[in-house]
């Protein structure tokens, strides 16, 4: 062996021994690389970890449901069919109230950054009021208030009250999104002769949408879950269908397991979709 | 004829530590086709004065006349005035969600109600002028700082302004990109554009400026031709400042 080669090997060995790897998954032997990643603390999407935790929960829920339906058709198949009858109502309530909440939230958000003080005031009071009262209490209150004043259908009253409740949170998201846009954008638009409303329409809001879409996606998921509260308003959503079944059969544990599984599966699918949306937005810069 | 006339301009800011007098009783005239460079240490009120000229800041007192029209006059359409004065910012402030072409055409289409085809044609002409016609369909994030600033200049020119304001247009740029932006500005100056600039590029001031204004602590201390200002400034503070940067 050449003396140079030995020298090289000794040096390489010395480097290897002094290499500190903070990544426990890094190969212990082989090439000497200093692996400085934050992969352990903040798992990235590409790394298997996050995907498997999602997969584990999702496929766990799917498999459990399948097993229950196939091997214990009595009573689980009936429970599933009964509870799923409430799914359209749950979706209807969620989708329409998110539309309502986005509309209310956009106006509230714009109002919070308005130059007129009294508009700020109205929006601020609305947000404080809604945030300070439990959702369930508001829901029942608004439902009865709307119901007694306008004599509308239960579904519409429920959608209205959920929209009002979530509009406040959405307003805060929109406000934060608008304020996240650098001040220079507004100044550049104004300097080009645009009016404030033109600047908002063509410059500020399109950028805000990009910033807040992930947050709105998460709000969508939490609204889907909170839509179960409308079951107290005698709307036949998934939860209420389950509870009606319990009152007929007294199979409370089994029914609630199924209700939980249905919500879990829907929510997990949605959260995955939100994740994908977020990734696409990042890619498009 | 005076294109931009600043008369006894003062601007105060209310800060937690009391009132800050950013600009104190400053008067300045920029004639048609003139290039005026404002220099001075940071915090001396140069940018504030510039921002007052196109109404981004409201003057505490004093008047600003553009083409003889007083911007403080309630009868004056401030938006109309802004259309006539283009502004280029230190941080470019391009619209990141729009392509380069859309950045330039947006204001003519929305503010001047120019037909889209005409605006695009104008934008391409301006992009050619700043040497970036091949970047029309690109988003600003894919451009270098110098290219972004050239697009920002083209965007301001698209409104066909009577005068241009530049607020430290090259301060955020790497040294090798400064030249490309200065070249565009020099060609503008040669074409007879009325320009009011805040800059530390003394080379540009020497080459293009008709007048150099030295500001310190919110006041205009000395005004003169570039030759006089750079070789024999009268004021001690101006002497001191120029000794540091030349």
**Read out DSSP for A62-75?**
HHHHHHHHHH-HHH
Mean pLDDT of A164-189: 93
Q: Which of B158, B24, B165 is nearest to B88 (CA)?
A: B165
Nearest to B97 among A188, A193, A206 (CB): A206
CA distances from B129 to A96, A107, A278 (A): 51, 42, 38
What tokens were used for B124?
């391409």
What local confidence, expressed as pLDDT, does residue A198 receive?
93
Chain A: nearest CA to B111, how far in angstroms? 6
Residues of B in contact with A189 (CB under 8 A): 95, 107
Lowest mean pLDDT segment, chosen from A55-64, B75-84, B131-140, B163-172: B75-84
Contact B83 A185 (CB under 8 A): no
- Give yes or no for a contact between A177 and A185, defined as CB atoms under 8 angstroms apart: no
Mean pLDDT of A3-28: 59
SS3 for chain B, per residue?
Answer: CEEEEEEEEEEEEEECCEEEEEEEEEEEEEECCCEEEEECCCCCCHHHHHHHHCCCCCCCEEEEEECCEECCCCCCCHHHHHHHEEEECCCCCCCCCCCHHHHHHHHHHHCCCCCHHHHHHHHHHHHHHCCCHHHCCCCHHHCCHHHHHHHHHHHHHCCCCCEEEEECCCCCCCHHHHHHHHHHHHHHHHCCCEEEEECCCHHHHHHHCCEEEEEECCEEEEEECHHHHHHCCCCHHHHHHHHHHC
Contact B89 A203 (CB under 8 A): no
Alpha-carbon distance of A1 to B130, in angstroms, equals: 64
Residues of B in contact with A185 (CB under 8 A): 93, 95
Contact A194 B111 (CB under 8 A): yes
Lowest mean pLDDT segment, chosen from A28-32, A274-278, B84-88: A28-32
Contact B97 A210 (CB under 8 A): yes
Contact A188 B96 (CB under 8 A): no
Chain B: nearest CA to A190, how far in angstroms? 8
Q: Which residue of A has its CA nearest to B53?
A: A191
Question: In this predicted complex, what is the ipTM?
Answer: 0.89
Contact B86 A191 (CB under 8 A): yes
What tokens were used for A270?
């949605």
Alpha-carbon distance of A189 to B155, in angstroms, equals: 11
Residue B94: count other Cβ atoms within 10 Å of its Cβ. 24
Nearest to B87 among A191, A202, A203 (CB): A191
Q: Which residue of A has its CA nearest to B81?
A: A193
Rounded to 5 degrees, φ, ψ at B179 are -60, -45
Contact A206 B139 (CB under 8 A): no
Q: What angle do CA A275, A279, A281 make, to 5 degrees?
A: 115
Alpha-carbon distance of A118 to A123, in angstroms, equals: 9
What local confidence, expressed as pLDDT, does residue B201 receive?
86
Q: Which residue of B has its CA nearest to A183?
A: B93
Residue A21 has pLDDT above 50, yes or no: no
Alpha-carbon distance of A53 to B202, in angstroms, equals: 61
Chain B: nearest CA to A163, how far in angstroms? 30
Alpha-carbon distance of A198 to A187, in angstroms, equals: 12
Binding-site residues on chain A for chain B (CB distance < 8 A): 182, 184-185, 187-195, 198, 202-203, 206-207, 210, 285
Nearest to B83 among A184, A193, A206 (CB): A193
- Per-residue pLDDT tens for B100-128? 999 999 999 999 999 999 999 999 999 99
Lowest mean pLDDT segment, chosen from A109-113, A123-127, A148-152, A254-258: A148-152
Binding-site residues on chain B for chain A (CB distance < 8 A): 54-56, 79-80, 82-83, 85-87, 89, 91, 93-97, 106-107, 110-112, 139, 141, 152, 155-156, 159
- Give yes or no for a contact between B198 and B23, defined as CB atoms under 8 angstroms apart: no
Alpha-carbon distance of A60 to A270, in angstroms, equals: 16
Lowest mean pLDDT segment, chosen from A20-24, A105-109, B79-83: A20-24
- Residue A34 — very low, low, confident or very high, per pLDDT cuts 50/70/90? low
- Per-residue pLDDT tens for A178-201? 999 999 999 999 999 999 999 999
- Residue A214 — very low, low, confident or very high, per pLDDT cuts 50/70/90? confident
Alpha-carbon distance of B161 to A96, in angstroms, equals: 48
SS3 for A234-255, per residue?
Answer: CCCCHHHHHHHHHHHHCCHHHH
Contact B93 A185 (CB under 8 A): yes
Starting at the earlier edge strand, list the strands of the sheet with B85-88.
B85-88, B163-167, B194-198, B35-39, B211-216, B219-224
Contact A188 B80 (CB under 8 A): no
Residue A116 has pLDDT above 80, yes or no: yes
User: What is the torsion angle, in degrees rounded to the nearest 10, for the CA atoms of residue B114, residue B120, residue B121 and residue B125?
Assistant: 110
**Mutation site, B91, B95, B113, interface A, largest A CB count within 10 A:** B95
Judging by DSSP bridges, how do beta strands B69-70 and B2-15 pair with one another? unpaired
CA distances from A10 to A5, A14, A15, B111 (A): 9, 6, 9, 73
Contact B82 A184 (CB under 8 A): no
Beta-carbon contacts below 8 Å between A and B: 63
Lowest mean pLDDT segment, chosen from A111-125, A146-160, A184-198, B130-144: A146-160
Residues of B in contact with A187 (CB under 8 A): 56, 89, 93
Q: Which residue of A has its CA nearest to B164?
A: A191
pTM, full prediction: 0.77
Mean pLDDT of A78-91: 89
Nearest to A192 among B91, B111, B139 (CB): B111
- Residue A14 — very low, low, confident or very high, per pLDDT cuts 50/70/90? low
Contact A194 B110 (CB under 8 A): yes
Residues of B in contact with A191 (CB under 8 A): 54, 56, 82, 85-87, 89, 156
């Amino acid at each position: 062996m050449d003396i140079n080669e030995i020298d090289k090997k000794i040096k390489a060995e010395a480097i290897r021994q002094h290499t500190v790897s903070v990544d426990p998954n890094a190969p212990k032997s082989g090439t000497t690389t200093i692996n400085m990643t934050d992969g352990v603390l903040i798992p990235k999407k590409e790394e298997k970890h996050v995907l498997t935790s999602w997969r584990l929960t999702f496929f766990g829920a799917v498999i459990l449901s399948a097993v229950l339906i196939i091997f214990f058709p009595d009573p689980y198949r009936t429970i599933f069919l009964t509870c799923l009858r409430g799914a359209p109502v749950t979706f209807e309530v969620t989708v329409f109230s998110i539309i309502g909440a986005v509309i209310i939230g956009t106006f509230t958000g714009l109002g919070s950054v308005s130059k007129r003080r009294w508009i700020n005031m109205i929006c601020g009071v609305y947000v404080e009021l809604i945030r300070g009262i439990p959702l369930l209490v508001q829901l029942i209150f608004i439902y009865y208030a709307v119901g007694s004043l306008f004599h509308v259908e239960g579904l519409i009253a429920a959608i209205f009250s959920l929209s009002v409740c979530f509009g406040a949170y959405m307003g805060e998201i929109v406000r934060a999104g608008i304020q996240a846009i650098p001040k220079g954008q507004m100044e550049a638009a104004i300097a080009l002769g645009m009016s404030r409303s033109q600047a908002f329409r063509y410059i500020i809001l399109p950028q805000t949408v990009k910033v807040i879409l992930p947050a709105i996606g998460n709000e969508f998921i939490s609204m889907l879950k909170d839509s179960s509260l409308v079951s107290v308003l005698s709307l036949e959503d998934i939860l209420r269908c389950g509870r009606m079944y319990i009152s007929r059969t007294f199979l409370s544990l089994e029914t609630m397991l199924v209700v939980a599984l249905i919500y879990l599966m829907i929510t997990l699918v949605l959260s995955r979709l939100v994740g994908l949306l977020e990734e696409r937005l990042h890619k498009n810069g | 004829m005076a294109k931009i006339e600043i008369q006894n301009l003062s601007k105060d800011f209310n800060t937690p530590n009391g009132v800050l007098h950013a600009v104190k009783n400053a008067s300045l005239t920029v004639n048609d086709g003139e290039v005026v460079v404002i220099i001075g240490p940071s915090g001396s009120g140069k940018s504030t004065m510039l921002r007052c000229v196109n109404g981004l800041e409201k003057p505490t007192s004093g008047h600003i006349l553009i083409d003889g029209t007083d911007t403080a006059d309630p009868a004056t359409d401030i938006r109309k005035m802004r259309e006539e004065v283009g502004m280029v910012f230190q941080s470019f402030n391009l619209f990141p969600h729009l392509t380069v072409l859309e950045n330039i055409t947006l204001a003519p289409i929305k503010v001047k109600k120019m037909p889209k085809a005409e605006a695009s044609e104008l934008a391409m002409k301006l992009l050619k002028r700043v040497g970036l016609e091949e970047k029309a369909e690109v988003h600003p994030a894919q451009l270098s700082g110098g290219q972004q600033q050239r697009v920002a200049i083209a965007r301001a020119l698209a409104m066909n302004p009577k005068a241009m304001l530049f607020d430290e247009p090259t301060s955020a740029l790497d040294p090798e990109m400064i030249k490309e932006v200065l070249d565009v500005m020099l060609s503008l100056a040669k074409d007879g554009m009325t320009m009011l600039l805040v800059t530390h590029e003394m080379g540009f001031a020497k080459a293009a400026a008709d007048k150099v204004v030295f500001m310190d602590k919110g006041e205009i201390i000395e005004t003169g031709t570039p030759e006089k200002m750079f070789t024999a400034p009268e004021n001690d503070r101006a002497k001191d400042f120029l000794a540091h940067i030349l």
